[in-house]
Amino acid sequence: MNQPLQRHRDELMSEASQVPVFLELEPQADPGPVAAELARQGVWFSSVGAAGRRGFQLQPHSVKCDLGALEAIEGVAAVYSRSSGRPLLDAQAGQPVLVAGRPLGGGAAPVLAAGPCAVESRAQIEEAAAEVAAAGGALLRGGAFKPRTSPWSFAGVGRRALGWLRDAADRHGLAVVTEVMSEGEVEAVAEVADLLQVGSRNMQNFALLGALGAAGLPVLLKRGMAATVEEWLLAGEHALRGGARGVVFCERGIRGFDPSTRNLLDLGAVALLRHVERQPVLADPSHGAGRRDLIPALSRASLAAGADGLLLEMHPDPARARSDASQALLPAELRALTQDLLPAEVTT
């Protein structure tokens, strides 16, 4: 409650109401019909009265509603709302983020980003790039630097792999998305990337988020495995405040209780980001499920929920993959999936 309530202004009228909103009643108004109209609009609210003002408090997570329409309800004297605390994301809402000149989100056709978990060799990423292009992909993914739970696991080839990734992408007309794990690597990664990936484990690494701006690139912000949507959005606000040229969110599953899948792909969050927050959002069913057999169904579900694209792991030879082998699609599986899913202009 440290921000003053403000009378809403015209520019707020068409925006989603995701911040607390207070409807003040006219002094003689009967609250009954106003409450009935709010219920009819599907808004969640509670009745409040203090300091001589009677009215309704709308829940911060209430459904999207037009503040102007609320003010027009008979008996409502005024509508007050608080600023969202995410002014930079608010400015991005409904707009596409440009990735190598291509619009992502904001109503643009869904895009495919695909490739191996890790860039392992020049030959591997070259073969992967050819397959991604054949499947209609727009972006080639692959980590040169890999965050691994165990310090003994393969952690990526490092800087050498960045050049292989860029060369392979260029040969097949693809853009590059790859992870940057620390502030010290921003410059090197930015030299080859079109979209800077911030991994789940770094979602709230505020020093890193603040340092990304120097690259002059958009950011792909993966959701932390125990992050609320609000924390995720605010991490995006950090990146924008640091100077990032747009933030694309990526749902990759949160920690669940059931080991049947690696994570719990939160499609409710995808729908919320797309339809309520109006932010560009990709879904990553590969890390969400951790197993390749579920990727087609979860990809379909992600697009149905509103995802602006998919981030998929595919390896030319999954049996030899040095990380995330069980969730890597075979090249033919990727092709079959995209033919089925993405619009014709993307897959031709």
Which residues of the chain form contacts with ligand PEP (CB under 6 A)?
117, 143, 147, 199-201, 222, 252, 287
Phi, psi values for residue 164, rounded to 5°:
-60, -40
Angstrom distance (rounded) from CA 239 to CA 228: 17
128 binds Mn ion (CB under 5 A): no
197 close to 140: Cβ distance less than 8 angstroms: no
Q: Identify what 111 binds: ligand PEP, Mn ion, none; CB under 5 to 8 Å per kind.
A: none
Q: How far is the CB of 196 from Mn ion (least distance, A)?
A: 16
Instruction: Give the shortest CB-322-to-ligand PEP separation in angstroms.
Output: 12
Q: What angle do helix axes 159-171 and 122-134 make, rounded to 10 degrees?
A: 30
> Which listed range, 41-49, 185-193, 236-244, 322-330, lies at the site for Mn ion (CB under 5 A)?
322-330
Q: CB-based contacts of 243: which residues, under 8 Å, 6+ apart?
A: 212, 213, 214, 216
Measured N-to-C along each axis, helices 295-305 and 331-341 cross at an angle, to the nearest 10 degrees, of 30
* Closest residue to ligand PEP: CB criterion: 199
Min dist. Cβ of residue 51 to ligand PEP (A): 48
CB of 117 to ligand PEP, least distance (A): 5
Binder of Mn ion out of 34, 112, 117, 125 (CB under 5 A)? 117
Q: How many CB atoms lie within 10 A of CB 35?
A: 17
Q: Name the packing angle between helices 122-134 and 331-341 (round to 10°).
A: 30
210: amino acid identity, one letter? G
Residues whose CB falls within 8 Å of the CB of residue 152, separated by 6 or more in sequence, listed in order? none
90 interacts with Mn ion by CB under 5 A:
no
* Distance, CA of 180 to CA of 145 (rounded, Å): 7
* 200 binding partner (options Mn ion, ligand PEP, none; Cβ < 5 to 8 Å by kind): ligand PEP
CB of 171 to ligand PEP, least distance (A): 22
**Neighbour tally for 32: CB within 10 Å:** 9
Q: Which is nearer to ligand PEP, 18 or 200 (CB)?
A: 200
The window from 82-90, 117-125, 176-184, 289-297 that contacts Mn ion (CB under 5 A) reads: 117-125
Q: Residue 213 binds which entry of ligand PEP, Mn ion, none, with Cβ cut-offs from 5 to 8 Å by kind?
A: none
Q: Which residue has the tokens 């505020």?
A: 206
Q: What's the min distance (Å) between Cβ of 222 and ligand PEP?
A: 4
Q: What would the two tokens of residue 310 be?
A: 């998919």
Please report whether residue 324 would count as binding Mn ion according to CB under 5 A.
yes
Determine phi and psi for 116, rounding to 5 degrees. Answer: -70, 165
Please choose which of ligand PEP, Mn ion, none residue 199 contacts, taking the beta carbon within 5 to 8 angstroms, the exact cut-off set by kind: ligand PEP
Least CB distance to ligand PEP at residue 181 (A): 9
Give the interface with Mn ion as residue ranges (CB under 5 A): 117, 324
